[in-house]
Structures are given as C-alpha cells and as structure tokens.
Amino acid sequence: MTALRERKAVSPGAVPALPRHVRIQYDPVRQAFAVLSPEKVFWPNEISLEILRRCDGRLSVKEIVADLAREYNAPEEDVASDVTAFFQEWSDKLLVKL
C-alpha cells in the first residue's frame, strides 16, 4: 500500500478546511450556494452551509460547535453530534480536510 494519506477521524481539536479541489460559491442564476467539486455540484441546506462556511482552516471543530450552538440557541451536545457526523461524512468523501 502506497497511500500518501490516511483516513481522518473527527476530533474536537481538528481544524477543518476546504481542500483545494472544493469551492463554495453563490450562484446568481439559481440564487443558491453551490459546492463545486471535480465531477459534482452539491446544493447544501442551510445548516450544512453554515458548517461549511466555518471551515476556514482556523476554527476547530469544538469552536464551530460552540459558535453554532450559540447562533441556533441549541444544546452543545446535540450540535456536537450532528457536526461530528457531518464532518466525518464529508471528510470520507474528501470534500472537507481535517
């Protein structure tokens, strides 16, 4: 096995960022935010978009959770489990870098 990378597991200290091949941008034609990747275009819902916009390579998973819990006035444990599941799925698809 000559893999240069390893599968990443989400941890509170991980700092998510969008990889070079993924980009979020507003599409004025459809009036929605699109996630662009090599072969696919994704249309994230409001919560996914809020998470993805915080993937700036500076905020940790823990900080993103706290921020979203504040903004949506929701218990941190609930937000943490949703956000962790989201990041694991998107990291497994190589759409988010942890």
Give the residues lining the site for another protein (CB under 8 A). Answer: 1-8, 19-21, 23, 25, 27, 29-30, 34, 36, 38-39, 41, 91-94
Task: Find the shortest distance in angstroms from Cβ 63 to another protein.
Answer: 23
Query: Considering beta carbons, is residue 36 or 74 the nearer one to another protein?
Result: 36
- Between residues 42 and 69, which has the closer beta carbon with respect to another protein? 42
Contacts of 2 (CB under 8 A, 6+ apart): none
Question: Closer CB to another protein, residue 23 or residue 53?
Answer: 23
